[in-house]
A and B are shown apart, each in its own frame.
Chain A
Amino acid sequence: MKVLVPVKRVIDYNVKVRVKADGSGVDLANVKMSMNPFDEIAVEEAIRLKEAGKASEVIVVSIGVKQAQETLRTGLAMGADRAILVTAAEDVHEDIEPLAVAKILAAIVKEEEPGLVICGKQAIDNDLGATGQMLAALTGLAQATNANTLEVADDSATVAREVDGGLQTIKVSLPAIVTTDLRLNEPRYASLPNIMKAKKKPLDEKTPADYGVDVSPRLEVVKTAEPAARAAGIMVGSVDELVAKLKDAGAI
């Protein structure tokens, strides 16, 4: 069984986000970019399935600017077998919407016929949290989002999902689309020898036209602004003072 893992190149989660002065978006020029953290969890889960003998091949795919090649190399260094880069944008500020991403992925699913697709539950840039569900819709496959645990059997997978109030366990027919939540696993760091080896692993380069997909956006960005700042508060010296202030404020 092949496992397909879509990965996105996003601003590194430790980098402070700055809104561009002209309000057109967030400044991504010369900032550190990394693999979306939820996608790292997805790559790790796929590699573990391969190590457990349940997956035969792990394919990472990225859709975006050509520099996403670095993100794919990270996935290959972690242990994926090969990569597909779909160059769909020239400028790093051009975000390809989940609907277009899902259409390209659906075409790749048709071509590669993976038994499982593991996606991150959301990208930390646009925070839409939609690609996995949209891919499941377009391929007509089952979906199991926000996975906390994943067990794969011959023709089904059992997934415990993080939901409001606790966990919901469902069984999905394979092939299926699974999206990862935080507690699924802790991704490994790639070792130096594996980073060297990753440079020689195959990486196919494609374009959206190869899959017949139009990536023009459905949402037009009107403006991007800094969130409203909170006024600074005061420091209190003791619990007694805190209790008094809270009573004054009518908070307790």
Chain B
Amino acid sequence: MAVLLLAEITDGALSMDATAKAVAASAPLGDVTVLAVGSKAKDAAAEAATIAGVAKVLVAEDAIYGHRLAEPTAALIVSLAGNYSHIVAPATTDAKNILPRVAALLDVMVLSDVTSVVDADTFERPIYAGNAMQTVKSKDETKVITFRTSTFEAAATGGAAPVEDVAAAENPGLSEWLEDKVAESDRPELTSAKIVVSGGRGVGSEEDFAIIEALADKLGAAVGASRAAVDSGFAPNDWQVGQTGKVVAPDLYIACGISGAIQHLAGMKDSKVIVAINKDEEAPIFQVADFGLVADLFEAVPELTGKV
């Protein structure tokens, strides 16, 4: 058995956390070959080669991979697929765009957001926004999997795997990149942050999200939001924590003005310590919180910011 793992690379930089967690998740499945794809990918490949448990790194550096468009990247993976029993990646928006395409090209099903490996054919994954956990056994010859990174510990570094170039595959030329609008932020990345401070509908407006951000900055935390807050336009979509957004499992999660809809809980209930601040004592968020405070967030959050 052998695993081909698509490394998470953005503008030439390796996302060490997501990639190392996917390496750890893949360890029981066989030798792990990491595939580094990008218009610049050599540095990322060298870094990926240091992840413990990586047997080999393949680099495909070509302008056509500059923005991880699904069609050329999927074509490249399919061109390499013959040598592997498992094709995997961390469940990022990039991988979730690319791997289902790869699976269909190979005439196999995809297993999304896998949280546990039972054996080489059998995997556990959440369904119904995490309200049920399903164990499924794949009958396909090649398994195509995205791993939910929040449930795996990152593999250590200290390895020194060999790095090899691979040729670019033919570009189907169906799509073209125009622009990235990336929010500039000094804050840690949401899915790998040790602390996350999130605001919900109770925050009331985009301007008032500043009090959530102030607490986050004081704690060196990432900022999250509930789907209700995103839907109401208080926060950008990439802050969304939940089944339809990001799944996080920080050491500390502070939910402010979040009622705790099922779909939000699915995105944060694996956090180590959960704090809920809400003025509605009946809010379901209190049922999962380690520490609950019934209070007006406009008073309690600034006070907390002052005292931590």
Given the complex of chains A and B, what is the CA–CA distance between A13 and B266 in angstroms?
14
Is A129 at the interface (CB under 8 A from chain B)? yes
Stretch at the interface among A53-61, A79-87, A133-141: A133-141
Cβ–Cβ < 8 Å partners of B111 in chain A: 219
In the complex, A44 Cα to B127 Cα: how many Å? 26
A128 to B231, CA, bound (A): 22
Which of B112, B131, B195 is the one whose CB lies under 8 Å from A129? B112
Bound form: Cα–Cα A11–B295 in Å: 35
- Our pick among B128, B140, B272 for the contact of A124 (Cβ within 8 Å) is B128
Q: Which of B108, B227, B273 has the most CB of A within 10 A?
A: B273
Residue A130 at the chain B interface, CB threshold 8 Å: yes
A220 touches B137 (CB 8 A): yes
How many B residues, CB 8 Å from partner?
Answer: 92
How would residues 213 to 224 of chain A score, 1 for a CB under 8 Å from any chain B CB and 0 otherwise?
Answer: 000001111111
A181 at the interface (CB under 8 A from B): yes
Please classify how large the interface on chain A is, using the bins under 10, 10 to 19, 20 to 34, 35 or more.
Answer: 35 or more
Known A129-B112, A164-B238, A227-B130; judge A170-B69 contact (CB<8 A).
Answer: yes
Tell me whether A137 and B181 are in contact in the complex, defined as CB-CB below 8 angstroms, given that A168-B67, A239-B293, A252-B308 are known contacts.
no
CB of B161 to closest CB in A, whole Å:
26
Instruction: Report yes or no: B93 in contact with A137, Cβ–Cβ below 8 A.
Output: no
Give chain B nearest CB distance to A106 CB in angstroms.
9
B105 at the binding interface (Cβ < 8 Å)? yes
A147 to chain B, nearest CB (A): 11
| Residues 281 to 297 of chain B near chain A (Cβ within 8 Å) | 286-295
1/0 per residue, CB under 8 A from A, across B211-228: the answer is: 000000001000000010
A141/B291 in contact, CB under 8 A: no
Partner of B291, one of A26, A99, A226, A245: A245
B174 at the binding interface (Cβ < 8 Å):
yes
Please report the C-alpha to C-alpha distance between residue A227 and residue B125 in the assembled complex, in whole angstroms: 10
* Residue in A146, A176, A242 whose beta carbon sits within 8 Å of that of B275 in the complex: A242
The answer, yes or no, to whether A158 is at the interface (CB within 8 Å) is yes
Q: A129-B96, A141-B174, A183-B237 are in contact. Are A168 and B179 (CB under 8 A)?
A: yes
Q: List, in ascending order, chain B residues with CB within 8 A of A132's CB.
A: 100
User: Is the pair A182, B227 in contact by a Cβ cutoff of 8 Å?
Assistant: yes
Cβ of B70 within 8 Å of any chain A Cβ, yes or no, is: yes
| A242 vs B109: C-alpha distance when bound (angstroms) | 47
List chain A residues, Cβ under 8 A from B177: 168-170
Q: Which residues of A contact B96 (CB under 8 A)?
A: 129, 145
- Specify which chain A residues have a CB less than 8 angstroms from the CB of B182 in the assembled complex: 165-166
Contact between B179 and A143, CB atoms less than 8 A apart: no
**Contact of B307 with A127 in the complex, beta carbons under 8 Å:** no
| Given A128-B112, A168-B177, 6 further pairs, Cβ under 8 A | A11-B128, A19-B132, A136-B70, A164-B246, A165-B10, A218-B109
Name 23 interchain pairs, CB-CB below 8 A, sorted by A. Answer: A19-B131, A122-B244, A126-B127, A127-B112, A128-B100, A137-B105, A143-B70, A143-B101, A145-B97, A164-B191, A164-B246, A165-B238, A171-B175, A219-B109, A219-B138, A220-B139, A222-B118, A225-B132, A234-B290, A243-B308, A246-B273, A246-B291, A251-B273
